[in-house]
Amino acid sequence: MARTLADLGRALDTDVSPLGAEPDTQTILAIDTEGRIYALDHTGDWYLGPTIDQALTGLISGTEPVRLTAG
């Protein structure tokens, strides 16, 4: 997990820390120094929202998150 989060942090040019994990899908939730929330799973890296409240609202409501892509 540490390498995965470090890779994401380098790609986003920020520090990223683990926030939690979903055991059934192995999805890792992460937060950066600005409070933005991300999900990392076997399908890719996802931006969940600019705040934890917005990220949780999106997850609960089923809103599809934005996929992060290399570019």
Render the chain in DSSP notation, one character per residue: -HHHHHHHHHHHTS-EEEEEEETTTTEEEEEETT--EEEEETTEEEEEESSHHHHHHHHHHTPPPEEE---
Neighbours of 9 (CB within 10 A): 17
The pTM of the whole model exceeds 0.85: yes
pLDDT the model gives residue 70: 64
pLDDT at 1 over 80: no
Query: 8-26: per-residue pLDDT in tens?
Result: 999 999 999 999 998 888 8
The predicted structure's pLDDT at residue 71: 56
Q: Is the pLDDT reported for residue 52 higher than 60?
A: yes
The 8-class DSSP code of residue 52 comes to: H
